[in-house]
Amino acid sequence: MIDSVGKRIALLLAGCALLAFCGSVQASVLAHWTFEENGGSTVNDISGNGYHGTLMNFPDTSANAGQYEGGEGWTAGALNFPGYTLANGAAGAGVVVTSLPAGALTGKSFTLEAILSHNSPKMGTWSPFFNTDDECCWFFGKASQTENLHFNFTSLGSANSILVPAFDGNPHHIAVVFDNVADTVATYFDHQLVGLVGRMTGTINSKFSTGDEITLGGSFTGTATVRGGGERWDGFAYEARITVDEALTPAQFLAVPTPTVTPPTPQGDTITYADFSDPSDLRARGSAGPYNGRLRLTSDVTGSQSGAYWVNGPVQFLSDLSFNTKFAFEISRTADINGADGMSFVIQNGGPDAMGWSGGSLGLDALAGKYMAVELDTYKGGIFDTASSPGNHIAIDLSGVAASVAETADGVVPELVNAGVGYIWVDYNGVTDVMDVYYATTDVKPDTPILSTTVDLAAHFGGATDLCVGFVGATGSITETHDVLNWEFTTIPEPSSLALIATALVALAGYGWRRKK
């Protein structure tokens, strides 16, 4: 008796569930791109619906052409979208034009989501990822110099989320969800709700039903130009998906990527790059990228650039922060000798994601944490310049200090722009706190430094010994190219008392031997 009743109840419940399933609208994956091709001009849609994409404005579609941040093109499991015009003549506005008509979303709930990294937190233009090919505004990125996720659906409305750290160069999951029943648009960052806007009654503009295809990584008008003079994504895309007929919840989203942790460079080690044909151990940010065996921080093509290259993980200094470094550089401008704004060698504690502002900030202003910089300044008006600062000089800067702690006088440094390859040596003795900077136009270290000062780096960094090391460069309305050609860096182990005695004895012995000769 009980068994018979139980069976009937089970059948009734199963029937109700079946009716509920048949009477509800289930989510449908409309398009899904995983960027696993690592070569070619096609991004495949794995949903089975055939909404494949075509790479536009990517000058190199071969395997691993975009494996480094600041580069452009394919790498294993990702597509690197260039955010700037680079000096190799690329348009710097690479987009993927899909065959998916935006009208396919009209009158439906939908979810746009992607796993992305953004490489330029100080980019001064809109940065869309999901967009259309006919200048319809589907911004899914950030407003100028903020860290918001933003949407702008024609005939639905627009809004910003709260500030999120989406532009640190690390992979994140971002999503925008339109609920056609509740008339809401929600934005998510790493599965966390960061924005919700109600009363969004409406449908996607009917214009979208006339063949306006969805693009990934920016907008494309068919004439190799970018809407608004520079609206594009700048960073890697690892996966993107569009789902319709249901407003997804975070439990249904693509998974949040697991961040990678880079171990520190051991203390006392020497970092040596005879050239930068393989800069895979370095982290590029902003406009920076590899170029013909060089680190190119900015290019002489587009203004208001800011680029940085860091050792991809902290360098372990000894407690007094002694170090030696040497690098070759070249600063150039096509139009004439007048360029702007400059480049710097930098030690900082803000991590390898650090990124500063363009223009007179020299890529230093707004760097996270504290820093020390040896700047090569090519334009008067930088953040550390005073009324007496020359427009062409070398200086030592500290974060939190209004002016350079030391700088060369007018006429001491020859013109740095279009002067060919130059060489810089920086020696810092953490015991005496003396920093010496040497400059030459040949690869021979001068006997006398061009700049020397006393600075207590250990106190400046508050005793921190795991620090980031690298280069930054910036341009304003006047452009110039900032390149690093090679680099050597080493921390210096602190000498013990016995070591000092042994060194003295060796020196004395050598002196005596020379006297006998």
Predicted local distance difference test score (pLDDT) of residue 356: 85
Quick check: 138 and 240 in contact, CB under 8 A? no
The rounded distance, in Å, linking the Cα atoms of 79 and 237 is 5
Q: Which two tokens stand for residue 398?
A: 């500290």
Mean pLDDT for the chain overall: 82
Average pLDDT (412-435) is 96
The rounded distance, in Å, linking the Cα atoms of 320 and 495 is 11
Closest CA to 438 of 452, 424, 428: 424
- CB count, 10 Å around CB of 431? 11
Domains for the chain: give ranges and CATH numbers.
26-252 (2.60.120.200), 270-497 (2.60.120.200)
pLDDT at 506 over 70: no
Q: Which two tokens stand for residue 323?
A: 């170090």
| Complete DSSP assignment for 468-509 | EEEEEEE--SS--EEEEEEEEEEE-PPPPHHHHHHHHHHHHH
How many residues comprise the chain? 517
Predicted local distance difference test score (pLDDT) of residue 374: 98
The rounded distance, in Å, linking the Cα atoms of 215 and 204 is 16
Average pLDDT (112-119) is 90
Q: Which two tokens stand for residue 340?
A: 């702007």
The rounded distance, in Å, linking the Cα atoms of 143 and 149 is 8
The rounded distance, in Å, linking the Cα atoms of 290 and 80 is 13
- CB count, 10 Å around CB of 278? 12
**For the stretch 58-84, what's the b/e string if a residue is b when 16 or more beta carbons lie within 10 angstroms of its beta carbon?**
beebeeebbbbbbbbbbbeebbbbbbb
Least confident of 79-88, 269-278, 396-405: 79-88
Handedness of CA 134, 139, 140, 145 (dihedral sign): positive
Predicted local distance difference test score (pLDDT) of residue 139: 59
pLDDT at 20 over 50: no
The C-alpha torsion from 151 through 153 and 158 to 159, rounded to 10°, is -20
Alpha-carbon distances, residue 379 vs 31, 362, 479 (angstroms): 49, 10, 11
The rounded distance, in Å, linking the Cα atoms of 371 and 70 is 22
pLDDT at 482 over 60: yes
Res. 450 pLDDT band, cuts 50 70 90: very high
Strands (E), 302-433: 306-311, 315-316, 323-332, 342-348, 371-377, 393-398, 406-407, 421-429
Alpha-carbon distances, residue 91 vs 42, 95, 217, 339, 385 (angstroms): 18, 10, 14, 22, 34
Quick check: 113 and 175 in contact, CB under 8 A? yes
pLDDT digits over 377-387, tens only? 999 989 999 99
Closest CA to 291 of 68, 480, 469, 8: 68
Res. 341 pLDDT band, cuts 50 70 90: very high
Predicted local distance difference test score (pLDDT) of residue 463: 95
pLDDT at 185 over 70: yes
pLDDT digits over 128-176, tens only? 888 876 555 565 665 555 678 888 887 788 888 888 887 778 899 999 9
Alpha-carbon distances, residue 51 vs 32, 56, 298, 412 (angstroms): 8, 16, 36, 61
Rg of the chain's alpha carbons, rounded to an integer?
Answer: 28
- CB count, 10 Å around CB of 252? 13
Least confident of 20-24, 49-53, 231-235: 20-24
pLDDT at 205 over 70: no
Predicted local distance difference test score (pLDDT) of residue 136: 57
β-pairing, 157-163 with 270-273? Answer: unpaired
Q: Which two tokens stand for residue 127?
A: 């940065």
The rounded distance, in Å, linking the Cα atoms of 406 and 324 is 18
Most confident of 338-347, 351-360, 436-445: 436-445
Average pLDDT (481-490) is 96
Query: Prior bond to 410 cis, omega within 30?
Result: no
Q: Which two tokens stand for residue 394?
A: 């070398």
More confident residue, 152 or 433: 433
Average pLDDT (202-212) is 63
Predicted local distance difference test score (pLDDT) of residue 230: 57
Predicted local distance difference test score (pLDDT) of residue 462: 96
Put simply, whether the predicted model's pTM sits higher than 0.85 gets the answer: no
Least confident of 162-176, 398-412, 500-514: 500-514
Coil vs helix vs strand at 410:
coil
The rounded distance, in Å, linking the Cα atoms of 408 and 454 is 15
Closest CA to 460 of 371, 384, 395: 371
